[in-house]
């Protein structure tokens, strides 16, 4: 045992001496909010920052919506109800959200969303959900035919000290390029011009801050590098730190080039509806608002026996922290929506889901197809939405 440890120690020292992937300088701390990739001023927002910029974007979206309604000969005196959709992270559990969306279409009750947000696997689903049922086939293909080799290529154990991740997501980049094409990008730009918003979350690892990317503004910019950046952002959604490599985003400030390091938005939050610092109840125009939150995970404890080994204990603890983070995100969106008078609807993987066989690993096709079918049935039969997160009860009218 001691011999193995000594060998690994020497190997680590030797590899560390070989260096690691290089990068451009990081954006200085004082300039993180000033940096704008491709020079697009409303391209992204820091979720924990000044809400003014996002509020201004919401006002512009409202003006575009009103202009679109007037062009269609419809009244803007009383605006129609709007629906928001938030899709969470969850890795291959995204098959649940994919099935739910398609079952929702089949039920005939799926609305057009004024705003769609996504984190991690939810960010991959978000563009399909944003563009509506015409993309149901695509989201079904992605989440029922994908296999591990279509997502990543494992690197050797030396990657732990010699590289930036244990696996390479070049295969996923090919899938992203297949679906996130010029046609999809043009359709996103068109919908943005009518006042709809598509927002995707990543984590700026240098700044340690949550970033919300305004994909409609990117699509409508006409910048020749816009589509490539869109694909980079989608690839970053799978950049689980340490497991999959981060995505480097180029920026320029005062004539100097820098790089931001972006990873999975789930490193900070598993889902978001809109920052709590934005109070919808204070909006200039009041209207009916409905929020739909898809949590691509179970919300009850997931029992498993943990081996008394360092890696097993650490891994199990990380899983527990991510599960707790997901529950907290669900509660945050609930209480924010209640404060703002937004109708709240939550869907998640219930305890009644029973996979046909033991899961063989991440992106197991049998497991994903089974979960897709479960989500599809839940939506088609009208059993998907819950008005309260688990563990909360309806308050007494006397309180």
Structure tokens belonging to residue 358: 């033991």
Phi, psi of 90 (to 5 degrees): 150, 10
Q: Within 13 Å, how many C-alpha atoms sit on residue 181's CB side?
A: 7
Structure tokens belonging to residue 353: 């889901």
**How open is the CA angle 94-95-99, to the nearest 5 degrees?**
120
> pLDDT per residue over 159-202, tens digit each?
666 676 778 888 899 999 999 999 999 999 999 999 999 999 99
pLDDT the model gives residue 17: 45
Phi, psi of 340 (to 5 degrees): -95, 0
> pLDDT per residue over 203-238, tens digit each?
999 999 999 999 999 999 999 999 999 999 999 988
> pLDDT per residue over 328-358, tens digit each?
999 999 999 999 999 999 999 999 999 888 8
> pLDDT per residue over 364-375, tens digit each?
999 999 999 999
DSSP string, 301-317: ----PPPSSHHHHHHHH
Determine the average pLDDT of the residues in 21-43: 89
Q: Within 13 Å, how many C-alpha atoms sit on residue 267's CB side?
A: 25
């Amino acid at each position: 045992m001691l011999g193995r440890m000594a060998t690994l120690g020497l190997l680590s020292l030797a590899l560390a001496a070989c260096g690691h992937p290089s990068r451009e300088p990081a954006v200085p701390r004082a300039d993180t909010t000033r940096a704008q990739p491709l020079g697009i001023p409303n391209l992204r927002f820091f979720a924990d920052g000044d809400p003014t910029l996002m509020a201004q974007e919401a006002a512009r979206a409202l003006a575009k919506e009103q202009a679109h309604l007037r062009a269609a000969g419809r009244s803007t005196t009383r605006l129609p109800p709007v629906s928001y959709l938030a899709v969470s992270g969850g890795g291959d559990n995204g098959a649940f959200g994919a099935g739910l969306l398609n079952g929702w279409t089949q039920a005939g009750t799926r609305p057009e969303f004024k705003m769609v947000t996504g984190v991690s696997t939810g960010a991959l689903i978000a563009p399909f959900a944003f563009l509506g049922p015409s993309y149901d086939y695509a989201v079904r293909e992605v989440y029922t035919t994908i296999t591990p080799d279509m997502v990543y290529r494992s690197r050797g154990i030396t990657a732990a000290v010699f590289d930036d991740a244990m696996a390479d997501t070049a295969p996923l980049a090919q899938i992203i390029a297949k679906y996130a094409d010029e046609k999809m990008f043009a359709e996103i730009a068109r919908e943005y011009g009518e006042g709809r918003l598509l927002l995707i979350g990543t984590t700026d690892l240098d700044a340690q801050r949550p970033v919300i990317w305004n994909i409609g503004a990117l699509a409508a910019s006409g910048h020749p590098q816009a589509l490539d950046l869109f694909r980079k952002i989608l690839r970053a959604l799978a950049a689980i730190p340490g497991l999959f490599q981060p995505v480097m985003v180029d920026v320029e400030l005062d004539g100097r080039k820098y790089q931001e390091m972006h990873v999975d938005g789930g490193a900070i939050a598993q889902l978001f509806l809109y920052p709590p610092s934005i109070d919808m109840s204070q909006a200039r125009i009041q209207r009916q608002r409905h929020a739909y939150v898809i949590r691509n995970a179970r919300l009850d404890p997931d029992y498993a026996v943990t081996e008394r080994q360092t890696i097993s204990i650490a891994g199990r603890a990380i899983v527990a922290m991510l599960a707790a983070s997901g529950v907290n995100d669900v509660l945050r969106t609930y209480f924010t929506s209640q404060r703002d008078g937004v109708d709240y609807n939550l869907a998640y993987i219930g305890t009644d889901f029973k996979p046909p066989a033991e899961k063989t690993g991440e992106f197991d096709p049998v497991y994903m197809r089974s979960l897709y079918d479960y989500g599809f049935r839940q939506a088609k039969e009208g059993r998907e939405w819950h008005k309260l997160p688990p563990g909360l009860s309806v308050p007494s009218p006397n309180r």
